[in-house]
Chains A and B, each alone.
Chain A
Amino acid sequence: MDKVIKSAGSSAEQIIEWAEEHKLETCFDRAEKLKPCPIGESGACCRVCHMGPCRLVGKNAEEEARGVCGATLATVAARNLVRMIAAGTAAHSDHARDMAYTLLAASTGEAKDFTIKDVKKLYKVADILGIEFEGRPVNDVGKDVATTFLQDFGRQLGELNYCKRPPKKTQERWKKWGITPRGIDREVVEAMHRTSIGVDHDADHLLLHGLRTALADGWGGCMISTDITDILFGTPRPIKAEASFGIFKEDEVNLIVHGHEPTLAEIIVDAASSPELIAYAKSKGAKGINLGGMCCTANEVLMRHGIPTAGGFTNQELGIMTGLIDAMTVDVQCIMPAIVEVSKKFHTKIITTSPKAHISGAERVEYDEHHAREIAEKIIRIAIDNFPNRKAEGSHITEKFPLIGGFSHEYIEYMQGGRWRGSFRPLNDAIMAGRIRGVVGLAGCDNPRVPSTGLHKYLAIELIKNDVLIVSTGCGSAACGSAGYLTPETALQMAGPGLREVCEAIGIPPILHLGACVDNSRILTIATAMAAEGGLSDEIGGMPAVGIAPEWMSEKAIAIGCYFAASGVPVIFGGESPVGASREVTKIMTEVWLERFMGAMHFEPDPEKMLALALNYIDKAREMLKLRKYEPGKFGAERVLMDMAARREIEKAAAVPHAGVGGINESER
């Protein structure tokens, strides 16, 4: 029998093999044993009331199958999807709410361990929000920003503050179809209401509200979280870090921050360098304190401090199996309860910290931003105290890869021209000239149902070979990082000729690590900036850009995918479709959304087809924008040479700018 590859990460696979030898169970084994229920997987199972669960299956199910109440397959599949969106939106947004309260507590001085680190970003955000900032004390501005954001959660009428950020045309599409979100909590509540028994039964009508809820996530929860995190902890700039299991140190206390929230992790990063705690670690026989991360908390502290990451979602059990983790803090989202059980086989202590989340059997140190430092130190001491208990067993993997992360929207603008000339012009130019064929957001989870991280790796390499620039977030970044792809050298070795030229000119990897999954919002603002820069589409829709989440599993991914689709980006998700049972719903999410919003949501398990679909979307968009046809190694340089008469017309010609780098056809001007 052929060996089943469980993880495409080489050291992950080694640990899995080690675990099998030692009879230790992982999510990979459980995924193998526990096949997904085919009815629920395709969206045909309705369990919103206790007359059911009803399964809408059989021949002609779309036309004939009905639930007890008479719900059609389309209604059921749409309701299930909207509930996933609501849950995903709730997750990011509840995280964002905590960020807003932390900013408020930092600004009022109640949370003394936090200060506003990035005043420039605070002012930028205040400016967008219409909050006066010049000449005012920083903390006053911070307070106003926090309270203004907090209104977005409970707002009943009107629209979210950040709904004015996207390009005008994108906003108009939302208005036309009535999906401009009002308040974050309101949209989530309404989603739950409308999907409960006996309320909204029209698939299209349901899904429109699903998009409104998703937009509350993207332009609300996610964007608020990203911006506040930057304000409190600094807007990321490129930074060196490392990825994969080799980041654990044999002779130091290994403390891992796992989960999604950055606040406690930030304080732990700070506290771990205190001489007192280092001395304490030494007193226990360790040479120092080694911090590492997992999942998106890892991405947060990697982006700002270069803290190494042990990888994404499917690595969490495997990390413990190295036998080297002395303590692992977990907060919220994507924490497998299995880690507590695994940890019992080793010396590792699992510490739950969020007031919202605990796992039976784990240690508990509840986090409170008012006493952050104290709590951080307590956690570090638990890890140090546990160091002497480290046993010889464990897989002890040493492989790790260097990476460059830290690409915020702000830095991406900076890197294209510096402090004086920073803009998105070079990126737009490169796309217009055909050096860069298009942009793909490669994001989302990693998943034990496929060779984990394998789809990310395959797509990453194929896309960059095809001159597609990748922006990555979340576990997608971890997958690429753990494969060694997030280096500038990757561009020279693997990227297509045009992308390589651009990467060489700027000095970047061909895959830009933008941060945690919540930082997908950075892609929204980047696309907005590209539209404003001109020469491509004047809205987010129509850009040669695609979102791909090849190994998604979380409801948050669905919310993210839908806010991209509603904003105008076609997205392609891997795996079986959670609405696959209904042709009607599938059609709405692909064809109807594409017509209305220029975005769509596809589900496609075959990675080769995903790639083809993505490239097709990109090439179609190029064609629609009348950009030169993409040909590898051939770049547009149809110069518009300026004589004096042409120069006098510059102001008037502003309506059709940027001609001449391969963009607008001369005949169209």
Chain B
Amino acid sequence: MSKIIASAAIKAAHSLVTRAEEMLDKAIAEKGKDFVFEFPDTAFYLPMIYAMTAFPVKTLADMKVALSMTREMLHDEPEEKLWKPYLGEALDSGMATLFAEEIILALRYINGLEPVTDSETGYVYNGFITDTIQRNLGIALVDGRMPGFAAIIGAAPDEDTAVKIVRELQEKNILIFLSGQSKDKNGKVTNVTRQLLNKGVALGWETYIVPLGPDTEHTLYALDWAIRASLIFGAKKPGDYKEHLKYQKDRVFAFAIALGEMDEIKWSTGAGAINMGFPAICDTDVPVIHPTGVCTYEHVDKEFDHAKIVQKAIEVRGLKVTVEKPPIPVSFGPAFEGERIRKEDMFIEFGGQRSPAFEWVRTKELHEIEDGKVTIIGTDVEERYKKGGVMPLAIVIDVAGRKMQKDFEAIIERKLHHNINEAQGLWHMGQRDIVWMRISNQAYKDGITLEHIGVIHNTMTHHRFKSIVDKVQVTLYVDEKDVQALQDEARKVYKERDHRLAGLTDESVDTFYSCLLCQSFAPSHVCVISPERLGLCGAYNWLDTRAAFEIDPTGGNQPILKGEALDAAKGRWVGVDSYLKSNSAGAVESLNLYTIMDNPMTSCGCFECIVAIIPEANGIMLVQRGHTGMTPAGMKFSTLAGTVGGGAQNPGFMGIGVNFITSKKFLFADGGIKRIVWMTKNLKERLGEDFRKRAEEEGVPDLLDKIADETVAEDSEKLMEFLASVGHPALEMDPMF
């Protein structure tokens, strides 16, 4: 019965708090109470304690305060007979456990013990998850590529079972965190991380498998990651714990799968997770808690059959996962996208300067296509493929559909990369005529043939573009002369497309599109996407959203009729304003697309890049996600990001997609790119040529050299010196305010 769980949780909370206190006293004795600590790359201190209590733990002395608050959350264990209620007390103990674990892990960082290097395998666990990773994953969290999160705690009875469970989760696009340990069926204490390593499974963010650490306490890293979703994307205020926990329950679809024997710390950590609405499914004969209410459905359940445990967990969390898998003999899904195929593991490759290769999507009439057909044209195809090595390859995909438009070809073509990459053992890079593909030895052994490449594209093009594509057929050419000949034709089309895209301006269309995908995490944020301003995540441009609307007319991208321009310079239209009013949960009344100073665009939190005003320089700075250094705004990216996300308008601060920087509409009303006084080296390199071209158009061809970066200034004073020395144009421009 649940009393057993409650007793265990309450007991473990006591011992963890005591352990944290002892560790802290030792640390204070060694380093002094003013010793400063922060987890790597986060703006949220100890995130769980900060989100729940608004108390920012910055020093060891702060930890002491936090631990005394934690101690107040402890309770007596329920008695054997005539017990008092224990559910609330157990959940409090769960939260106390998370606080204590957060401090224990912080102290372990201070002592150089985190992230843990596995004693048996030498594998270095992930440890604390940074804000950057959180934001990097942003778009995947909302577009269905990462619909849920599993924390697997303990060890499977054997390695094959571990692989099976993880593969099933991967195929369902569930991000997997690994922690804790337990005995396998031979009685050996181990964990899933080791079991997967022994089976040669690739671990890491790219493959959706993230080993956090070998102890149950390391599960806290996953919960710390989850709680930052409500801080970053949900814009919930620190200390507003009810809102945070409701957000977690409603929007963060996480659950635990506990493999092997449970112990007190597992129960108490689980009780902490239940506070967040995350249930646990165990593979042992544990007491269950079925009545609902803290979690959406069951709180604790059991499933002995490992073939069913993933499905059970997903259902108990109320998660719907729809995956489309082409009929191929390997696993398929975004979780397999990140796999790399090293040369020695490679069976065959195409393109990548090693052979001519390209991909091309063409629109045809319906009667010209035999749907689902894959044709391979070439000599001795089978023999050559079986030999492995290198082959030329042209992939020509013909599509037809009553709603198909020429403009969608490029969009369908961009997905070819994902189509191939999501297959396990297949790897893809680049696009058009710079494509590079590999098939691994293992995939070949599993039965992957050349034809499967066509099958994948057929299935996935239908799936991704179901309402605009009625028929798809794929033709593969493997003889060099065919490939070369077709490539010239394709190149002509590529060029035409680029030209047409360059001609698309905000003025040339009467409809913009919204992107509401992020509303699953940031309910008041709306992206307005125009031909000259792509989404702030960098993943969606105007054509994408237009196609997405055609594909799913009730989906996350909706047309916005611009209507009358209220302010052409700032980019404000009647239609945009009225759309925002009714779709931002009342948060935004009016938007100016071309300025940062007056009702600028809001952000969900997964922006590629931040624009921030530097008042003293009369300009703005740009810093991209992942930059960990200081900026002249006096804040690091992670801290700046905290002021931008969550669907609020903050004049002077804005999240954008990197490619917007070279748009003619970038801060058009504020003076455009000439306002840029500082940007990271990384951005300078990424934008390179495009930026120089824009600079020339603006009449400042050497602008890029006049813009400071982290090598010349990381603070305001040095920045000002530099700008004065190079005569930056912003200094002479009209005041921004």
Instruction: Give A contacts to B, CB under 8 Å.
Output: 238-240, 402, 404, 411, 414-423, 425-430, 433, 435, 487-489, 501-502, 504-508, 635, 637, 639-648, 650-651, 660-661
Contact = CB atoms under 8 A, between A and B. Distances in A.
A420 B291 contact: no
Contact of B523 (A425, A435, A489, A650): A650
B320 A651 contact: no
Nearest to A508: B85
Contact of A648 (B84, B298, B519): B519
A425 B142 contact: no
Interface on chain B toward A: helix, strand, loop, or mixed SS? loop
Interface string B134-147: 00000000111001
A420 B276 CA distance: 9
Contact of A644 (B73, B91, B143, B299): B143
B556 A648 contact: yes
Contacts of B83: 404, 488, 507
Contacts of B92: 418-420
Closest 4 CB pairs of A and B: A426-B293, A418-B91, A647-B520, A641-B320
Given A417-B88, A419-B95, A645-B555, A505 B290 contact: yes
Interface stretch (B1-9, B107-115, B198-206, B358-366): B1-9
B273 to A, nearest CB: 12
B89 to A, nearest CB: 7
A420 B52 contact: yes
Contacts of A635: 290
B87 A507 contact: yes
B292 A433 contact: yes
Contacts of A240: 82, 84
B142 A644 contact: yes
Interface string B255-282: 0000000000000000000010000000
A432 to B, nearest CB: 9
B148 to A, nearest CB: 10
B324 interface: no
B372 interface: no
Nearest to B271: A418
Contacts of A640: 318
B88 A426 contact: no
Contact of B517 (A425, A648, A650): A648
Given A415-B88, A645-B555, A651-B585, 16 more contacts: A416-B87, A416-B88, A416-B294, A418-B89, A505-B290, A505-B299, A507-B3, A637-B292, A641-B315, A641-B320, A642-B318, A643-B144, A646-B320, A647-B520, A650-B523, A660-B296
Nearest to B141: A644
A419 B315 contact: no
Q: Kindly name the residue among A418, A489, A502, A642 whose own CB sees the greatest number of chain B CB atoms within 10 A.
A: A418
Contacts of B6: 507
Interface stretch (B245-253, B385-393, B452-460): B245-253
Contacts of B143: 644
Interface on chain A toward B: helix, strand, loop, or mixed SS? helix
A79 B144 CA distance: 68
Contacts of B250: 647, 650
A481 to B, nearest CB: 12
A417 B90 CA distance: 9
Contacts of B186: none
Contact of A643 (B73, B245, B322): B322
29 contacts: A238-B84, A238-B85, A415-B85, A416-B87, A418-B90, A418-B92, A420-B91, A420-B242, A421-B245, A422-B88, A426-B291, A427-B293, A433-B291, A487-B82, A505-B289, A506-B86, A507-B78, A637-B297, A637-B298, A639-B315, A639-B318, A641-B320, A644-B142, A644-B143, A650-B251, A651-B585, A660-B318, A661-B292, A661-B296
B37 interface: no
B88 A430 contact: no
A507 B84 contact: yes
Q: Kindly name the residue among B142, B144, B245, B320 whose own CB sees the greatest number of chain A CB atoms within 10 A.
A: B320
A309 B208 CA distance: 61
Contact of A642 (B89, B319, B523, B556): B319
Interface in B1-44: 1-3, 6
A489 B81 contact: yes
Contacts of B292: 426, 429-430, 433, 637, 661
B291 A502 contact: yes
Contact of A501 (B3, B90, B242, B290): B290
A402 B88 contact: no
Contacts of B520: 644, 647-648, 650
A213 B204 CA distance: 70
Contact of B88 (A414, A643, A661): A414
A505 B144 CA distance: 34
A19 B250 CA distance: 63
A421 B320 contact: no
Q: Kindly name the residue among A430, A433, A487, A647 whose own CB sees the greatest number of chain B CB atoms within 10 A.
A: A647
Nearest to B554: A645
B517 A417 contact: no
Interface string B517-552: 101110100000000000000000000000000000
A126 B315 CA distance: 44
Contacts of A508: 85
Contacts of A422: 88
Contacts of B81: 489
Contacts of B296: 660-661
Given A645-B556, A648-B516, A650-B523, A419 B73 contact: yes
A641 B319 contact: yes
B241 interface: yes
A502 B294 CA distance: 12
Contact of A421 (B3, B73, B85, B275): B275
Interface in B21-80: 52, 73, 78
Nearest to B315: A639
A420 B73 CA distance: 10
Nearest to B88: A418
A417 B297 CA distance: 14
A210 B315 CA distance: 52
A501 B299 CA distance: 12
Contact of B86 (A402, A423, A487, A507): A507
A420 B241 contact: yes
Contacts of A429: 291-293
Contacts of B251: 647, 650
A643 B294 contact: no
B146 to A, nearest CB: 10
Contacts of A646: 320
Q: Kindly name the residue among A489, A639, A643, A651 whose own CB sees the greatest number of chain B CB atoms within 10 A.
A: A639
B84 A402 contact: no
B281 to A, nearest CB: 14
A555 B555 CA distance: 62
Given A642-B253, A644-B520, A428 B320 contact: no
A527 to B, nearest CB: 17
B320 A507 contact: no
B478 to A, nearest CB: 39
B325 to A, nearest CB: 17
A645 B84 CA distance: 43
A411 B88 CA distance: 9
Contacts of B556: 644-645, 648
Contacts of A404: 82-85
Contacts of B291: 426, 429-430, 433, 435, 501-502, 505
B610 to A, nearest CB: 25
A417 B294 contact: yes
Contacts of A416: 87-88, 293-294
A648 B95 CA distance: 28
A428 B292 CA distance: 9
A414 B242 CA distance: 13
A453 B314 CA distance: 50
Nearest to A636: B292
B2 A507 contact: yes
Contact of A417 (B147, B289, B293, B585): B293
